Structure 1
Amino acid sequence: MATPMAVSVPGIQAERDHALDWVKWLALMAMVMDHVWFVLPAEWQDPGYGLRVAGRLAFPLFCLAIAANVARQPAGYPVGIRRYLAGLLLFAMLSQPAYTKFFDNGTLNILFTLALGLPIAAAVQHRTPALIVGAVLCVAIGYAYSSVLAYGFWGVLLPAVLVTAIRSQSSDLFQVLAIVAAVVALLANGALLAVFRDLTAVQYCQVAAIAVAPLLGLLILQIQAPPVRPVGRWMYAFYPIHLLVLSSLAIAWS
């Protein structure tokens, strides 16, 4: 049997994509900065609100990493998608106790949202019957449980929107789809209507960061980025571990 050929997508190469690694590193750093703010002593939180602004980059960039990884998968080769989904679901469940202890907000952690978004993005990319059925199921689950999912229903759809944008990088639709991705990111954060409200300067900066994040990530994917240490499967374990470490620091500081 012939080996399936990799999908040719502008900006996404079959070999190691250093630009994608830069996107992942940026998402990781933004996430950590966001979470560090929560454990700062009260008197440090106002001066440190820039951490929250930077943190708004994280979720759209993680969604972009999902989308770019899906775009790299060979057509008709679902094993990589299944492994990806299995890893997300496993660490979503393992991370939930640490997430609940850290936030205590009654929601599921971000990995559940990304796990639901992955099959939808894969269906948009490959359009096989099995993936389409899985995507419909994930859309239904995302809609039904949007109130307990981090970033809600729109967060589940964002990786698929970004896959569409990646596929169109060489077409005239790219700019339109990039803007659509920015709007969906705002909807996922509940920030679309916030721009019409009386916000502080810092809050407007947060809204701007959310909108800019998908555009920044898509731009990074198009450049010839220098090599950087790859972000591998250790990123799954990093998520619950960093939450536990920060929870311990919060206890120590209090």
Structure 2
Amino acid sequence: MHGIETIPVSRVRDGALDLLKWLALLSMVLDHLRYVGLSLDGLYVPGRLAFPWFCLVIAANVQRVKDVPATFQWRYLGWLLLFSVISEVPYRMFIADAHSLNVLPTLALGMLIARGWQQKTAVDRGLALIAVLLAAIFSTHLMFGFFGVLLPLAMLLVFRRPWYFSVVPGLVCVAANQWQVLLSSASVVALSGLAMCLIAPLAGWVLLRHAKHVSPPAMRRWAYALYPLHFLLLLFVRQIVAGPM
């Protein structure tokens, strides 16, 4: 879940970007509702919007500011890594058979790669290279794998290009979502999920470009805590659904 914190380049916030964060958060919660013990498999489809939209938030932040103080870079990365650790226990409690880490390490590595491409300094390029190597070595341990780590960069590369270039990050998003398994199942939900992955970048860009007039509540640093907290809340809901043993 991240890219939550917007780079503070001015006092004027981007309402469309805050809206995208809230919608990505909502999509994530809907996706995880599938694990509370009810027949909600159809929520898999809107749930495919969450990860690419958080990646788009990261790309938007990197694109908006090319000259960011190093202190912000380390603080931004530090918050991601801190809540990566904090979130792992609630994540494992809620999804007991998880085969990967929570999503925040994937987003942290993706942010470093996108920033390294944009900044072009020796330090940023070095960190980006380390992130690529870590993603390649530990791909099976990362949620959305190697392609998931590359998705913020794919978003950034076509950020200012015509709408049809969105097919590039769309294909990267499909690759990050175990497309072979989904395609082989041939179910309506699985195929709809693949289609949602493909169009998610375009849908996010349309929102960013045409929702400038909105002014939802700003997502600030406190929003990092929503990631581990939502696991605990859904775990409580699952216990209610399960009823007394």
User: What TM-score results when the alignment is normalised by the length of structure 1?
Assistant: 0.85
Corresponding residue number in structure 1 for 2:4: none
Cα shift at 1:79: 2.4
Q: Which residue of 2 aligns with 1:247?
A: 235
Contact kept in structure 2, 1:183 and 1:192, CA below 8 Å: no
Gaps of 5+ in 2: 1-8
Q: Which residue of 2 aligns with 1:203?
A: 190
Separation of aligned partners in 1, 2:63 and 2:31? 28
Given the alignment, which residue of 15, 20, 25 partners 2:22?
25
Percentage identity across paired residues of the two chains:
37
Q: Write the mapping of 1:27-176 to structure 2, written as runs, cut at 5 A.
A: 27-41=24-38, 45=39, 48-75=40-67, 77-104=69-96, 105-166=98-159, 168-169=160-161, 174-175=162-163
CA distance in 1, matches of 2:64, 2:217: 19
* CA–CA separation in structure 2 for the residues paired with 1:14 and 1:162: 25
How many angstroms does 1:220 deviate by? 1.4
Secondary structure at 2:142 match in 1: coil
**Which one-letter code corresponds to 1:40 in the other structure?**
G
202 and 76 in structure 1: CA distance in 2 versus 1, 3 angstrom threshold: closer
Moved over 6 A (4+): none
CA distance in 1, matches of 2:127, 2:167: 27
Secondary structure of 1:52 counterpart: helix
Distance 2:182 2:31 in 1: 20
> What amino acid does structure 1 have at the position aligned with 2:15?
H
Select between 52-61 and 201-210 the one with higher mean Cα deviation: 201-210
Unaligned stretches of 5+ in structure 1? 1-11
Q: Distance in 2 between matches of 1:67 and 1:110?
A: 16
Return the alpha-carbon distance in structure 1 between the equivalents of residues 213 and 152 of structure 2: 22
Give 1:175 deviation, angstroms.
3.8
Q: AA paired with 2:229?
A: I
2:179 alignment partner, SS class: coil
Letter of the structure 2 residue corresponding to residue 83 of structure 1:
R
> Residue 181 and residue 14 in structure 1: after superposition, are their counterparts in 2 closer, same or farther (change >3 A)?
farther
Q: CA separation of 1:81/1:73 partners in 2, compared to 1, >3 Å: closer, same or farther?
A: farther
Give the TM-score of the pair, scaled to structure 2: 0.88
- The alignment partner of 1:222 has SS state of helix
Q: Structure 1 residues 142, 23: CA separation in 2 closer, same or farther (over 3 Å shift)?
A: same
In structure 1, give the amino acid aligned to 2:101. Answer: L
Distance 1:54 1:128, change over 3 A: same
For 1:19 and 1:76, the matched residues in 2 are separated by 21
Which structure has more RCO (C-alpha within 8 Å, separation ≥ 6)?
2
- Range moving further from structure 2, 198-207 or 114-123: 198-207
Q: Give secondary structure in 1 for the equivalent of 2:215.
A: coil
CA distance in 1, matches of 2:11, 2:155: 19
TM-aligned CA distance change 1:21 to 1:144, over 3 Å: same
Structure 1 residues 198 and 35: alpha-carbon distance in aligned structure 2, compared to 1, 3 A threshold: closer
Does residue 1:190 correspond to 2:182, yes or no? no
